[in-house]
């Protein structure tokens, strides 16, 4: 592992975030780091973990901890899955391929976003572990059906259908920094934002050598070819999935389906009715509707409503292994991480993602030992205390 991401330079995920900030132009860093509107939900996602404290069982010898689990029919070496992160190729030229490879080497799953710059077949073959495909309906139903067909032929293990994106959230930092202009085709419109690119020559060289703004090779409109990489707002406003769509999606995809973006017990029950194998309690990392609660806060009521009929996963705000353990104590089978690995990707490509996973994995193991708990499966609510706000 290169010294740039080794200890003591990088000890935690916050250190990777700082390296990412140093390497990326402001527009790309803020796209990754930021949230919607006043970023209340973004902050809450992390703050909620501080309201959960541990209740350890001391003087218990735990020489070895069992971290393995199963999610969506796949064996994972520890209960952390890489979430879909759109535009990853802007963060690093190897983008989704690097992240998938690092996930596979760590023995866990990677979820490929529809808004990805590398072909799904290349991403699948880069990883020795399971890969899931996250579906948006950009480009329309025919393009989505074609992607589902390709994902099945390539050997993807599950489909993750995101339901919280009827339109894009109002990400104020993206407007100020010129995200739309960066992705748009008008070179003159990019001019006012040029200084932030020139201030990051390493990133700029990689971006230009990679051919600049990529197309979306997994959104192929029949008769027209791959969709150009359009602005986030435009992309997401044409991406919405409704419950009605789930009927034909289920017919097109015979494997397991996870519904991502559930925040209420009503939506959880609806997802079960639609045949979901898993539910991801998620507010999209605070990037969609600002003012919704932290995922961790609604997790227990959704776990209770689902009552074992599907796997319950969660994401939002995971920055430490102790956060992973808290979410599992409150009923999650596993967690997804977005920024925690994407900071690593932006900082150093594949080795940065690998470092992020190594940090979280050793954190989880140490936390279990300090709790006096020998396995992930044995974690439950008795190991934590939730302080009500």
Ligand X SMILES: Cc1cc2nc3c(=O)[nH]c(=O)nc-3n(C[C@H](O)[C@H](O)[C@H](O)COP(=O)(O)O)c2cc1C
Supply the minimum distance, in Å, between the C-beta of residue 25 and ligand X. Answer: 14
Name the token pair of 385. Answer: 């205390």
**8 Å CB contact between 359 and 321:** yes
Q: Residue 26 or 260: which CB sits closer to ligand X?
A: 260
CA separation for the pair 381, 93 (Å, rounded): 42
* Active-site residue identified among 58, 118, 284, 387: 284
Supply the minimum distance, in Å, between the C-beta of residue 9 and ligand X. Answer: 22
φ, ψ dihedrals at 384, nearest 5°: -135, 160
Q: Residue 328 or 336: which CB sits closer to ligand X?
A: 336
Give yes or no: 387 in active site.
no
**Could you tell me where the beta strands, DSSP code E, fall in the chain?**
52-54, 69-71, 74-76, 80-82, 110-112, 131-135, 158-162, 215-221, 225-228, 257-262, 278-281, 311-315, 334-337, 384-386
Integer angstrom CA distances of residue 296 from 14, 39, 326, 328, 339: 20, 16, 9, 10, 16
Closest to 156 in 3D by CA, of 106, 121, 105 = 121
Instruction: Taking the CA atoms of 343, 349, 108 and 78 in sequence, report the sign of the dihedral they define.
Output: negative
246-285: b or e for each residue (b if 16 or more CB lie within 10 Å)? beebeebbebbbbbbbbbeeebbbbbbebebbbbbbbbbb
Site residues, ligand X (CB under 6 A): 31-32, 45, 83-86, 113, 115, 134, 162, 260, 282, 284-285, 287, 315-318, 336-340, 342
Q: Residue 239 or 376: which CB sits closer to ligand X?
A: 239
Name the token pair of 197. Answer: 């690119």
Supply the minimum distance, in Å, between the C-beta of residue 99 and ligand X. Answer: 12
Region for 384 from its dihedrals, namely left if φ exceeds 0, alpha if ψ lies in -120 to 50, beta otherwise:
beta
The residue of the chain with the least Cβ separation from ligand X equals 338
Q: Residue 237 or 375: which CB sits closer to ligand X?
A: 237
Supply the minimum distance, in Å, between the C-beta of residue 228 and ligand X. Answer: 16
Residue for token pair 């994972």: 76
CA separation for the pair 136, 238 (Å, rounded): 9
**8 Å CB contact between 287 and 305:** no
Supply the minimum distance, in Å, between the C-beta of residue 155 and ligand X. Answer: 21
Strands 311-315, 334-337: pairing kind: parallel
Q: Residue 358 or 373: which CB sits closer to ligand X?
A: 358
CA separation for the pair 240, 84 (Å, rounded): 16
Supply the minimum distance, in Å, between the C-beta of residue 84 and ligand X. Answer: 4
Q: Residue 100 or 115: which CB sits closer to ligand X?
A: 115
Supply the minimum distance, in Å, between the C-beta of residue 26 and ligand X. Answer: 14
Q: Residue 65 or 139: which CB sits closer to ligand X?
A: 139
Catalytic residues: 284
């Amino acid at each position: 592992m290169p010294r740039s991401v080794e200890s003591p330079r990088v000890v935690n995920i916050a250190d990777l975030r700082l390296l990412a900030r140093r390497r990326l132009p402001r527009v790309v860093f803020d796209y990754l780091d930021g949230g919607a509107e006043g970023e209340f939900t973004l902050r809450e996602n992390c703050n909620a973990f501080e309201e959960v404290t541990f209740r350890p069982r001391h003087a218990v010898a735990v020489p070895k901890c069992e971290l393995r689990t199963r999610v969506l029919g796949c064996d994972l070496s520890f209960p952390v899955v890489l979430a879909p992160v759109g535009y990853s190729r802007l963060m690093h030229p190897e983008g989704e391929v690097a992240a998938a490879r690092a996930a596979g080497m760590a023995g866990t799953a990677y979820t490929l976003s529809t808004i990805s710059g590398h072909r799904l077949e290349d991403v699948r073959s880069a990883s020795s572990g399971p890969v899931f495909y996250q579906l948006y309906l950009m480009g329309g139903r025919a393009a989505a059906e074609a992607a589902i067909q390709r994902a099945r032929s390539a050997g993807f293990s599950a489909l993750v259908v995101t339901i919280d994106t009827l339109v894009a959230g109002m990400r104020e930092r993206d407007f100020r920094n010129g995200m739309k202009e960066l992705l748009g085709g008008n070179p003159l419109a990019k001019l006012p934002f040029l200084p932030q690119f020139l201030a990051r020559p390493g990133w700029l060289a990689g971006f230009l050598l990679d051919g600049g703004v990529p197309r979306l090779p997994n959104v192929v409109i029949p008769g027209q070819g791959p969709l150009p990489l359009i602005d986030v707002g435009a992309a997401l406003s044409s991406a919405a999935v409704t419950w009605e769509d789930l009927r034909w999606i289920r017919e097109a995809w015979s494997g397991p389906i996870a519904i991502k973006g559930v925040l209420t017990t009503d939506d959880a029950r609806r997802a079960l009715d639609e045949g979901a194998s898993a539910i991801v309690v998620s507010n999209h990392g605070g990037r969609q509707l600002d003012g919704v609660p932290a995922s961790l806060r609604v997790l227990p009521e959704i776990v209770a409503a689902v009552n074992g009929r599907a796997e319950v996963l969660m994401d939002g705000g995971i920055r430490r292994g102790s956060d992973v353990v808290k979410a599992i104590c409150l009923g999650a089978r596993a967690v997804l991480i977005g920024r925690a690995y994407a900071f690593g990707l932006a900082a150093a490509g594949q080795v940065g993602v690998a470092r992020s996973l190594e940090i979280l994995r050793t954190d989880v193991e140490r936390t279990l030992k300090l709790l006096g708990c020998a396995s992930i499966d044995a974690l439950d609510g008795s190991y934590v205390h939730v302080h009500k706000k």
